[in-house]
Structure 1
Protein backbone atom coordinates (compact mmCIF):
# COMPACT_ATOMS: atom_id res chain seq x y z
CA UNK A 1 0.00 0.00 0.00
CA UNK A 2 1.26 3.46 -0.86
CA UNK A 3 2.39 5.52 2.08
CA UNK A 4 0.91 8.93 2.70
CA UNK A 5 3.01 12.07 2.45
CA UNK A 6 1.43 13.22 5.68
CA UNK A 7 1.71 11.87 9.19
CA UNK A 8 -1.35 11.10 11.28
CA UNK A 9 -0.74 14.29 13.26
CA UNK A 10 -0.74 16.41 10.09
CA UNK A 11 -3.88 14.76 8.77
CA UNK A 12 -5.73 15.28 12.04
CA UNK A 13 -4.59 18.92 12.08
CA UNK A 14 -6.04 19.37 8.56
CA UNK A 15 -9.35 17.87 9.64
CA UNK A 16 -9.46 20.09 12.75
CA UNK A 17 -8.87 23.18 10.54
CA UNK A 18 -11.81 22.23 8.35
CA UNK A 19 -14.02 21.50 11.36
CA UNK A 20 -13.09 24.89 12.84
CA UNK A 21 -14.81 26.60 9.92
CA UNK A 22 -12.22 26.86 7.16
CA UNK A 23 -13.53 25.87 3.74
CA UNK A 24 -12.55 22.42 2.56
CA UNK A 25 -11.19 23.73 -0.74
CA UNK A 26 -9.02 26.22 1.14
CA UNK A 27 -7.63 23.55 3.48
CA UNK A 28 -6.85 21.32 0.51
CA UNK A 29 -5.12 24.14 -1.35
CA UNK A 30 -3.13 25.16 1.72
CA UNK A 31 -1.78 21.65 2.30
CA UNK A 32 -1.51 20.59 -1.34
CA UNK A 33 -3.92 17.68 -1.17
CA UNK A 34 -6.87 16.83 -3.38
CA UNK A 35 -10.37 17.03 -2.00
CA UNK A 36 -10.84 13.28 -2.62
CA UNK A 37 -7.79 12.52 -0.47
CA UNK A 38 -9.01 14.93 2.19
CA UNK A 39 -12.40 13.20 2.42
CA UNK A 40 -10.69 9.80 2.50
CA UNK A 41 -8.55 11.02 5.41
CA UNK A 42 -11.62 12.46 7.10
CA UNK A 43 -13.46 9.14 6.80
CA UNK A 44 -10.54 7.32 8.38
CA UNK A 45 -9.34 9.82 11.00
CA UNK A 46 -12.43 11.97 11.62
CA UNK A 47 -13.19 12.40 15.32
CA UNK A 48 -9.83 11.00 16.43
CA UNK A 49 -7.09 12.47 18.53
CA UNK A 50 -3.42 11.93 17.75
CA UNK A 51 -3.14 9.20 20.39
CA UNK A 52 -6.09 7.35 18.87
CA UNK A 53 -4.47 7.52 15.44
CA UNK A 54 -1.24 6.10 16.81
CA UNK A 55 -3.13 3.22 18.45
CA UNK A 56 -4.95 2.57 15.15
CA UNK A 57 -1.65 2.49 13.26
CA UNK A 58 -0.13 0.08 15.80
CA UNK A 59 -3.16 -2.22 15.55
CA UNK A 60 -3.04 -2.14 11.74
CA UNK A 61 0.66 -3.07 11.79
CA UNK A 62 0.05 -5.90 14.24
CA UNK A 63 -2.89 -7.17 12.18
CA UNK A 64 -0.77 -7.19 9.01
CA UNK A 65 1.95 -9.15 10.81
CA UNK A 66 -0.53 -11.71 12.09
CA UNK A 67 -2.12 -12.13 8.66
CA UNK A 68 1.31 -12.77 7.16
CA UNK A 69 2.12 -15.37 9.82
CA UNK A 70 -1.22 -17.09 9.25
CA UNK A 71 -0.69 -17.19 5.48
CA UNK A 72 2.79 -18.69 5.92
CA UNK A 73 1.45 -21.32 8.32
CA UNK A 74 -1.37 -22.27 5.96
CA UNK A 75 1.15 -22.60 3.12
CA UNK A 76 3.35 -24.85 5.26
CA UNK A 77 0.34 -27.02 6.11
CA UNK A 78 -0.64 -27.33 2.45
CA UNK A 79 2.89 -28.36 1.50
CA UNK A 80 3.00 -30.98 4.27
CA UNK A 81 -0.37 -32.37 3.18
CA UNK A 82 0.88 -32.59 -0.40
CA UNK A 83 4.00 -34.48 0.69
CA UNK A 84 2.00 -36.81 2.96
CA UNK A 85 -0.55 -37.54 0.24
CA UNK A 86 2.02 -38.75 -2.28
CA UNK A 87 2.38 -42.51 -2.61
CA UNK A 88 5.89 -43.76 -2.13
Structure 2
Protein backbone atom coordinates (compact mmCIF):
# COMPACT_ATOMS: atom_id res chain seq x y z
CA UNK A 1 0.00 0.00 0.00
CA UNK A 2 2.84 2.38 -0.69
CA UNK A 3 0.64 4.44 -2.99
CA UNK A 4 -1.41 5.56 0.00
CA UNK A 5 1.60 7.00 1.85
CA UNK A 6 0.76 5.35 5.18
CA UNK A 7 2.58 6.89 8.10
CA UNK A 8 2.49 6.08 11.80
CA UNK A 9 0.13 8.96 12.60
CA UNK A 10 -2.24 7.83 9.83
CA UNK A 11 -2.20 4.25 11.08
CA UNK A 12 -2.79 5.34 14.67
CA UNK A 13 -5.68 7.57 13.57
CA UNK A 14 -7.48 4.73 11.81
CA UNK A 15 -6.69 2.28 14.63
CA UNK A 16 -8.23 4.69 17.16
CA UNK A 17 -11.37 5.14 15.04
CA UNK A 18 -11.71 1.36 14.60
CA UNK A 19 -11.17 0.82 18.35
CA UNK A 20 -13.82 3.42 19.19
CA UNK A 21 -16.32 1.68 16.93
CA UNK A 22 -15.60 -1.71 18.50
CA UNK A 23 -15.79 -0.30 22.05
CA UNK A 24 -19.07 1.49 21.36
CA UNK A 25 -20.53 -1.64 19.77
CA UNK A 26 -19.62 -3.69 22.83
CA UNK A 27 -21.06 -1.00 25.13
CA UNK A 28 -24.29 -0.95 23.11
CA UNK A 29 -24.64 -4.72 23.43
CA UNK A 30 -23.75 -4.96 27.13
CA UNK A 31 -25.42 -1.77 28.33
CA UNK A 32 -28.34 -0.79 26.11
CA UNK A 33 -29.12 2.88 26.36
CA UNK A 34 -32.30 4.84 26.03
CA UNK A 35 -31.95 8.04 24.03
CA UNK A 36 -31.71 11.24 26.03
CA UNK A 37 -32.47 14.84 25.18
CA UNK A 38 -29.64 17.32 25.70
CA UNK A 39 -28.91 20.93 24.85
CA UNK A 40 -29.64 20.45 21.16
CA UNK A 41 -33.18 19.29 22.03
CA UNK A 42 -32.82 16.13 19.93
CA UNK A 43 -32.70 12.54 21.13
CA UNK A 44 -29.15 11.21 21.08
CA UNK A 45 -27.51 7.93 22.01
CA UNK A 46 -23.83 7.21 22.65
CA UNK A 47 -23.31 6.49 18.96
CA UNK A 48 -24.94 9.77 17.95
CA UNK A 49 -22.73 11.68 20.36
CA UNK A 50 -19.66 9.87 19.02
CA UNK A 51 -20.61 10.88 15.48
CA UNK A 52 -21.19 14.51 16.53
CA UNK A 53 -17.83 14.48 18.33
CA UNK A 54 -15.92 13.06 15.34
CA UNK A 55 -17.56 15.47 12.91
CA UNK A 56 -16.94 18.48 15.15
CA UNK A 57 -13.34 17.41 15.77
CA UNK A 58 -12.72 17.24 12.04
CA UNK A 59 -13.97 20.81 11.67
CA UNK A 60 -11.91 21.97 14.66
CA UNK A 61 -8.77 20.45 13.14
CA UNK A 62 -9.46 21.95 9.71
CA UNK A 63 -10.07 25.38 11.22
CA UNK A 64 -6.91 25.01 13.29
CA UNK A 65 -4.87 24.18 10.19
CA UNK A 66 -6.30 27.16 8.34
CA UNK A 67 -5.96 29.69 11.14
CA UNK A 68 -2.99 28.61 13.25
CA UNK A 69 -0.78 26.27 11.25
CA UNK A 70 0.45 22.74 11.23
CA UNK A 71 1.04 22.17 14.96
CA UNK A 72 -1.96 20.06 15.88
CA UNK A 73 -1.24 19.20 19.54
CA UNK A 74 -3.21 22.15 20.88
CA UNK A 75 -6.07 21.30 18.50
CA UNK A 76 -6.11 17.79 20.00
CA UNK A 77 -6.61 19.30 23.45
CA UNK A 78 -9.44 21.48 22.12
CA UNK A 79 -11.02 18.37 20.54
CA UNK A 80 -10.81 16.43 23.81
CA UNK A 81 -12.52 19.28 25.67
CA UNK A 82 -15.15 19.43 22.91
CA UNK A 83 -15.69 15.64 23.15
CA UNK A 84 -16.14 15.82 26.92
CA UNK A 85 -18.70 18.63 26.49
CA UNK A 86 -20.62 16.73 23.80
CA UNK A 87 -20.81 13.54 25.86
CA UNK A 88 -21.83 15.49 28.94
CA UNK A 89 -24.43 17.92 27.62
CA UNK A 90 -25.63 16.82 24.16
TM-score w.r.t. length of structure 2: 0.32
TM-score w.r.t. length of structure 1: 0.33
Larger radius of gyration: 1
